[in-house]
């Protein structure tokens, strides 16, 4: 039995249906290169937990398109079309990940700006106590007490 090596570029894989060869190389934590040659239709199981965020990006022209699915054990399975083909499996965080980064950045800028303003006001010594008083019929009135 071999020990887990996080720096290894090889990924566990098995051709569970069909005849041929499948190679999987990790290019980055979110990107795998799958090269295969099969004589008929095949099915490859890759040693990764399935997520609907995994996407197939073909790197070679093909008459058909491989289909990504999940095994009974929850691992990634790829249906293989006959011939020699290369494809990339890319983990795409989608819009929640992209917009999450933007919202986080805006929040940090907003909080930092508020802190800078608060520090500037407290250093100048002109801190004012504000009291908001509700006035029926006229909306709200703000009175400043010094």
Please report which confidence band the pLDDT of residue 105 belongs to, taking 50, 70 and 90 as the band edges.
very high
Edge to edge, the sheet with strand 54-58 lists: 20-28, 31-38, 83-91, 54-58
- C-alpha distances in angstroms, 5 versus 2, 10, 123? 9, 10, 54
Q: What's the CATH number for 13-92?
A: 2.60.40
Averaged confidence pLDDT in the chain = 78
Q: Given a cut of 50, is residue 4 above it in pLDDT? A: no
d(CA 120, CA 123) in angstroms, rounded, equals: 5
The SS3 of residue 127 is coil
The rounded percent of the chain whose pLDDT value lies above 90 is 7
Exposure class string for 134-145: b at 16+ Cβ within 10 A, else e:
eeeeeeeeeeee
- Average pLDDT for residues 26-32, to the nearest whole number? 87
- Average pLDDT for residues 127-144, to the nearest whole number? 54
**DSSP tally for the chain: helices H, then strands E:** 1, 10
Q: Where are the domains of the chain?
A: 13-92, 95-145
């Amino acid at each position: 039995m071999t020990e887990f090596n996080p720096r290894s570029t090889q990924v566990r894989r098995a051709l569970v249906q069909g005849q041929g060869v499948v190679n999987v190389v990790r290019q980055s934590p979110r990107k795998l290169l799958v090269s295969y040659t099969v004589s008929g239709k095949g099915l490859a199981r890759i040693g990764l937990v399935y997520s609907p965020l995994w996407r197939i990006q073909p790197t070679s022209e093909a008459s058909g398109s491989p289909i990504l699915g999940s095994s009974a054990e929850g691992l990634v399975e790829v249906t293989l079309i006959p011939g020699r083909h290369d494809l990339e499996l890319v983990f795409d965080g989608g819009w929640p990940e992209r917009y999450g980064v933007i919202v986080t950045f805006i929040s940090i800028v907003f909080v930092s700006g508020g802190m800078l303003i608060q520090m500037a006001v407290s250093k100048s010594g002109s801190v004012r106590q504000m009291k908001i008083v509700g006035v029926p019929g006229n909306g709200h009135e703000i009175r400043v007490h010094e």
